[in-house]
Amino acid sequence: MKKKDIRSLTLTELKSIFIEMGEKAFRAKQVYSWLWQRAAQSFDEMTNLSKPLRQQLNDQFVINAITIARQQQSADGTIKMGFQLFDGHLIEGVLIPANDRMTACVSSQVGCSLACKFCATGFLPRKRNLNADEIFDQVVLLNQQALEHYDRPLSNIVYMGMGEPLLNYKNVLKSVHHITSPEGLDRSPKRITVSTAGIAKMIKKLADDETKFNLALSLHAANDEKRNEIMAINETNSLAVLAEALRYYYKKTRRKVTYEYIAFDQFNDSLVDAKELVQFCRIVPCKVNIIEYNQVKGVRFTKSKEDRLLTFQQYLEQKDITTTLRRSRGKDIDAACGQLANLEKES
């Protein structure tokens, strides 16, 4: 008999199973607490359960905990983790330390189906979505690394690793629930950001579902022709379609949106591009993260020159748009934005 993944069950389902087993319902709550509050990776850790009950659980259920396959540390302190999933697939997550924050960047899919022209993950086929517990485990393991290496816990979590989070909507929201609920890791949703390449109908769904985390849109061009060239998703989710979804999102949530804008040399870093971006920024209250491009093998784009980058940023700031220039972290270990892919490629 195939063992059932115990973390795929709700507390209500778990209670029903325990009652069928002749156990008291409160035992289910104890197990649920071990799984989501204490992030237990085996039934043997559940020491307030009797040995016979632990054995019974072991016979019927499995905890598909992810494991660390590889770890690299950058000269700047960034740590990239290669995680192995229960079925042998490999994904990557990144710990990014800074003076004012400790950020975990987690993946939501094995590979990606969007094939953005500048992103290493985009060259990989999408193998499957990650389960909620596999996303949850990345946070737990990256937090352990933060404590071990920097004696500080995570402060922020960003869904900006491998894959498109909104194409794994159900599992992403379920993982956020377990990370933020008092019965889980009890972290603030205000410290979580989910990034999307721009799936308009799912942006509206985020609003309808009254999500409390932050939304980031990977924009990279405020011009349909250019965005089509680098992001195929724009052909079905044009800037006009995205603008309508963002208005809907802001009207319902009243939360600022963050635009991620990778600056490519001589492609999207001119003053004309900046003016187009300013126009797009008028749609809803927002802030802009300008990101240094990180070279990916086989990709024609290069990073914007420093003078063009600063001129671009200054123009946005002159137009009263809150702008942050994000310097690359972890480039020397291919852990920077757009570089996650190596492990699955090698496997």
List pLDDT tens digits, range 236-267: 999 999 999 999 999 999 999 999 999 999 99
**Confidence at residue 95, expressed as pLDDT on a 0 to 100 scale:** 96
Interval 174-194 mean pLDDT: 97
Looking at the structure, tell me whether residues 51 and 83 fall in a common domain: no
CA-CA distances (angstroms) from residue 344 to 91, 241, 294, 297?
7, 33, 19, 15
**Alpha helix stretches (DSSP H) within 234-270:** 239-253
Domain boundary among 62, 77, 98: 62
Looking at the structure, tell me whether residues 17 and 142 fall in a common domain: no
- SS3 for the chain is CCCEEHHHCCHHHHHHHHHHCCCCCHHHHHHHHHHHCCCCCCHHHCCCCCHHHHHHHHHHEECCCCEEEEEEECCCCCEEEEEECCCCCEEEEEEEECCCCEEEECCCEECCCCCCCCCCHHHCCCCEECCHHHHHHHHHHHHHHHHHHHCCCCCEEEECCCCCHHHHHHHHHHHHHHHHCCCCCCCCHHHEEEEECCCHHHHHHHHHCCCCCEEEEECCCCCHHHHHHHCHHHHCCCHHHHHHHHHHHHHHHCCCEEEEEEEECCCCCCHHHHHHHHHHHCCCCEEEEEEECCCCCCCCCCECCHHHHHHHHHHHHHCCCEEEEECCCCHHHCCCCCCCCHHHHHC
**Confidence at residue 347, expressed as pLDDT on a 0 to 100 scale:** 37
pLDDT tens digits, one per residue of 3-20: 999 999 999 999 999 999
Looking at the structure, tell me whether residues 27 and 143 fall in a common domain: no
Looking at the structure, tell me whether residues 48 and 165 fall in a common domain: no
Instruction: With a cut of 80, say whether residue 70 has pLDDT above it.
Output: yes
Q: Which of 295, 297, 300, 304 is nearest to 261 (CA)?
A: 304
Looking at the structure, tell me whether residues 47 and 110 fall in a common domain: no
Q: Looking up tokens 């932050």, which residue turns up?
A: 214
**Confidence at residue 338, expressed as pLDDT on a 0 to 100 scale:** 47
Radius of gyration of the chain, Cα coordinates, nearest whole angstrom: 21
Looking at the structure, tell me whether residues 55 and 86 fall in a common domain: no
pLDDT tens digits, one per residue of 279-321: 999 999 999 999 988 777 777 888 899 999 999 999 999 999 9
Dihedral in degrees, nearest 10, Cα atoms 244, 248, 249, 252: 170
Number of domains in the chain: 2
Looking at the structure, tell me whether residues 102 and 203 fall in a common domain: yes
Compute the distance between CA of residue 156 and CA of residue 97 in angstroms, rounded to an integer.
10
Looking at the structure, tell me whether residues 244 and 333 fall in a common domain: yes
Instruction: With a cut of 50, say whether residue 54 has pLDDT above it.
Output: yes
- Across the chain, how many H-helices and E-strands are there? 11, 14
Looking at the structure, tell me whether residues 192 and 233 fall in a common domain: yes
Which two tokens mark 238?
A: 């044009």
CATH number of the CATH domain containing 318: 3.20.20.70
Q: How confident is the model at residue 121 (pLDDT cuts 50, 70, 90)?
A: confident
CATH number of the CATH domain containing 39: 1.10.150.530
Looking at the structure, tell me whether residues 41 and 75 fall in a common domain: no
Looking at the structure, tell me whether residues 244 and 116 fall in a common domain: yes
pLDDT tens digits, one per residue of 198-244: 999 999 999 999 999 999 999 999 999 999 999 999 999 999 999 99
Looking at the structure, tell me whether residues 268 and 299 fall in a common domain: yes
E-strand ranges in 219-339 read 257-263, 286-292, 322-326
Active site residues: 92, 337
**Confidence at residue 345, expressed as pLDDT on a 0 to 100 scale:** 42
Q: How confident is the model at residue 344 (pLDDT cuts 50, 70, 90)?
A: very low
Compute the distance between CA of residue 162 and CA of residue 147 in angstroms, rounded to an integer.
24
pLDDT tens digits, one per residue of 74-95: 888 999 999 999 999 999 999 9
**Confidence at residue 8, expressed as pLDDT on a 0 to 100 scale:** 96
> What DSSP element (H or E) covers 49?
none
Compute the distance between CA of residue 140 and CA of residue 66 in angstroms, rounded to an integer.
10
**Confidence at residue 340, expressed as pLDDT on a 0 to 100 scale:** 46
Domain boundary among 32, 62, 92: 62
Domain boundary among 47, 62, 77: 62
Interval 27-55 mean pLDDT: 96
Give me the domain span that covers residue 291. 67-346
